[in-house]
Chains A and B, each alone.
Chain A
């Protein structure tokens, strides 16, 4: 069973469109993340949710709107896509109730978004 899954794996779309990426984890974790990895391979955190509440929001344009319907799911909706949004988006999850000293994050396989 896949621990953290993302759909779709690849997404090719035109500038100006609106698209969503979905993430699901079956690890029973309470915290989920979205990261963006650009063409230079820098991996940057975007958002984090803990128990469905937003706890990290890293100066991301408001065209990006995360949504966590429950602890196991974190979706990312992007409005008015721009060329600079092309990147690989990774979802990750962890459990913060396991003890503050041990927060191993489990990452999904990534969604490669290409904006034309």
Chain B
């Protein structure tokens, strides 16, 4: 199973952009990059996913390096409600399994 590496924790000020990095140097051509987040006392929730191209949705943007060995989740304006653990996950096309890593705990300062 492909693995990801993320910083244990990050801090951001409210209303500022946040860039959450993820390294996945062993990624294969059929691995999709998924991001989930887990708010306190809740189950994980989907944020965004991509394969090769950068992706945008209402929650965030995903920037994928050209060699696909790393990616960055971008929250354009952090709010206090964005404080959570953010997980970067690789999922091989055709498989149904997510392998969660340790994630990055994001703290948003008012």
Residues of A within 8 A of B (CB): 4, 31, 35, 41-45, 48, 50, 55-56, 90, 92, 94, 96, 100-110
Contacts and interface: CB of A to CB of B under 8 A. Distances in A.
Nearest to A44: B100
7 contacts: A31-B96, A43-B87, A48-B97, A90-B43, A105-B98, A107-B45, A109-B42
B98 to A, nearest CB: 7
A45 B44 contact: no
Contacts of A48: 96-97
Contact of A42 (B36, B45, B100): B100
Contact of B96 (A41, A90, A96, A102): A96
A56 B93 CA distance: 16
Contact of B49 (A50, A92, A100, A102): A102
Interface bin, chain B: 20 to 34
Contacts of A106: 46
B100 A94 contact: no
B43 A41 contact: no
Contacts of A4: 43
Closest 5 CB pairs of A and B: A107-B43, A43-B100, A104-B46, A90-B43, A100-B93
Contacts of B87: 43
Given A41-B85, A101-B32, A94 B96 contact: yes
Interface string B45-67: 11001010000000000000000
